[in-house]
Amino acid sequence: MIPGPRPRVLIVGGGNGLVGRALIAALRSDYQIRTAHRRADPWESARGVEWVPTDVARTVDWIPRLEGVHAIVNLAWYRHARAKAFQDLEAGLERLLEAAARARVARFVQISVPSAPEELEARLPYLRYKRRFSRALATGGVPYTVLRPSALFGPGDRLLGVMMRLIRRYPIFPMFGDGSYRLSPLSARDLARIIRASLAPGPDVIRDLGGPRCYRYQELTDLMFRIAGKRARYWRMSPASGQDLASLLQFFGSSLLYRYELDWLLSDRLGLPSAEDLAPRMDRVEPYLRWVGGRPPTPLPKPWVPRSAERPMAER
Ligand SMILES: NC(=O)c1ccc[n+]([C@@H]2O[C@H](COP(=O)([O-])OP(=O)(O)OC[C@H]3O[C@@H](n4cnc5c(N)ncnc54)[C@H](OP(=O)(O)O)[C@@H]3O)[C@@H](O)[C@H]2O)c1
């Protein structure tokens, strides 16, 4: 418990996001929390969070939103969108950064992503604009931390939880290539602990974050089959066929797996070293997979229809 009046943190993004949910839970005992995002979230308001409706991509008056704010954490990004949507969001974040420097905000914590293959870094608006904002932070006049986690897991995630549910539901699961590429999943709860620690004063930091254990992809899917009580059976396809499948899903508006996500996974860059030094006794993925596997079946992301929150053209 921090003594004295609780400092105020502005979370850009909020309780309706995977990380936002975990972060609010991690901060609420010691911080006053204000969130700035687009959609109301009853879970958030039930926890005393002050929500200020905000679309960062539009012109926003940041001055009142920054009143009394000690630190900012930015979670807002799109999983898939048109280039213009990323450009507008990044420009909005730069306006926020300028206002934060004027308001003498003590720290800006930006949640980013690990390195991707050069071709994706150069071509993909998702990455180009993320990197542009990280460069803006470096000269923005506010002390900063950039955290670059590997794939995250936790209730509502869009990778491991979805894979576990698919494996439980269907007898066979696609395997792209030999499945030897690595992944070190990190729980959203551990990322929230690390963000919380990053709010303390200190030097500017850029840090990649992996979970407690690095897996080969097929090790993870084998584990999921075991947890589901099934023999592992795969629909094996070459990486190129997997990429065609992901492109096809994307073309028909599915948010199940985007082509760039598969390219990134196949590039074997997501087996990041463990961040256990920052968050001792990290969550392991097995209990989470057992929890997902034991829950009543819930609807999977619709294979052919974009999520309503992801319009236009599946923003996120
Ligand atoms: N999930 C992962 O595996 C993973 C891995 C590495 C890094 N990351 C990064 O971690 C961050 C959080 O990820 P997440 O999975 O928690 O994302 P998420 O579940 O998609 O949540 C994103 C949050 O941003 C808000 N948001 C989106 N667009 C906005 C806009 N224009 N203006 C204001 N708020 C906006 C959303 O709220 P509203 O919809 O209400 O606006 C939501 O609260 C992202 O930057 C992501 O790139 C995620």
pLDDT tens-digit map of 130-180 = 999 999 999 999 999 999 999 999 999 999 999 999 999 999 999 999 999
pTM of structure: 0.94
Identify the band that residue 302 occupies on the pLDDT scale cut at 50, 70 and 90: low
Which ligand 1 atom is at minimum distance from the Cα of 316? Answer: 20
Mutate to test the pocket of ligand 1, among 10, 12, 35, 37 (most ligand atoms within 8 A of CB): 37
Token pair 């819930």 in the structure block, residue: 298
Identify the band that residue 4 occupies on the pLDDT scale cut at 50, 70 and 90: confident
76 lines ligand 1 (CB under 6 A): yes
Identify the band that residue 307 occupies on the pLDDT scale cut at 50, 70 and 90: very low
pLDDT digits (tens, 9 = 90+) for 101-127: 999 999 999 999 999 999 999 999 999
Gap from CA of 238 to ligand 1 centroid (Å):
31
Average predicted confidence (pLDDT) for the chain: 93
113 lines ligand 1 (CB under 6 A): yes
Q: Whose CA is nearest to atom 34 of ligand 1?
A: 37
- Both tokens assigned to 210: 């992996």
Whether residue 3 is predicted with pLDDT greater than 90 in this model: the reply is no
Q: Whose CA is nearest to atom 12 of ligand 1?
A: 75
Residue 301's pLDDT is 65
For 130-181, the DSSP string reads: HHHHHHHHHTSSS-EEEEEE-SEESTT-SSHHHHHHHHHHSS-EEEETTS--
The burial class, CB within 10 Å (0-12 / 13-18 / 19+), for 108 is buried
195 lines ligand 1 (CB under 6 A): no
Element (H, E) at 53: strand 50-53
Euclidean distance between CA atoms 194 and 153, whole angstroms: 15
100 lines ligand 1 (CB under 6 A): no
CA nearest to 205, candidates 109, 278, 296, 300: 109
Element (H, E) at 110: strand 107-111
- Both tokens assigned to 106: 């003590």
pLDDT digits (tens, 9 = 90+) for 47-74: 999 999 999 999 999 999 999 999 999 9
Q: Whose CA is nearest to atom 27 of ligand 1?
A: 76
Identify the band that residue 5 occupies on the pLDDT scale cut at 50, 70 and 90: confident
Gap from CA of 75 to ligand 1 centroid (Å):
5
In contact, 147 and 195? CB cutoff 8 Å: yes
Residue 299's pLDDT is 67
